[in-house]
């Protein structure tokens, strides 16, 4: 993979999240992807658990937006880290802004692991 391919895959993932497109998200994740919210002690394994998490996120928010990406790539280790800003609009129109970091590990050109470090309240709850 070229270095820029790592960044494009991350951007494709977040575009899927922001557009509530679960198929686009799953195209970036292995079937057995391990998705953890490190700051809140949550670990999800596989598409089924990850789909449920995103459905809860979208149900609880009018919109989510990820922007202002800063990448640190490790192509030799098949990893990329990204720091970014999040703007969540809640159902009551309240806006919640965060600064988060995600760490992605690649296997066969897509993500086999996603580790999330989230400021503030956990918006990616494991259970509804």
pLDDT digits (tens, 9 = 90+) for 9-63: 999 999 999 999 999 999 999 999 999 999 999 999 999 999 999 999 899 899 9
Q: Which residues of 17-26 are buried (b: 16+ CB within 10 A; e: fewer)?
A: bbeeebebbb
With a threshold of 0.85, does the pTM exceed it?
A: yes
Helix (H) or strand (E) holding 106: strand 95-107
Q: How far apart are CA 32 and CA 6, in angstroms?
A: 19
- All domains of the chain, ordered by start, with CATH? 3-117 (3.10.450.50)
CA 115, CA 42: separation in Å to the nearest integer? 10
């Amino acid at each position: 993979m070229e270095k820029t391919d790592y960044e494009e895959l991350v951007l494709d993932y977040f575009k899927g999240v922001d557009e509530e497109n679960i198929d686009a998200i799953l195209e970036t994740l292995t079937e057995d992807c391990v998705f953890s919210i490190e700051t809140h002690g949550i670990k999800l394994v596989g598409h089924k658990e990850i789909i449920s998490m995103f459905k809860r996120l979208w149900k609880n928010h009018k919109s989510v937006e990820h922007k202002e990406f800063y990448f640190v790539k490790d192509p030799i280790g098949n990893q990329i880290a990204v720091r970014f800003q999040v703007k969540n609009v809640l159902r009551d129109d309240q806006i919640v802004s965060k600064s988060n970091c995600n760490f992605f590990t690649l296997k066969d050109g897509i993500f086999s692991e996603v580790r999330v470090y989230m400021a503030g309240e956990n918006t990616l709850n494991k259970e509804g």
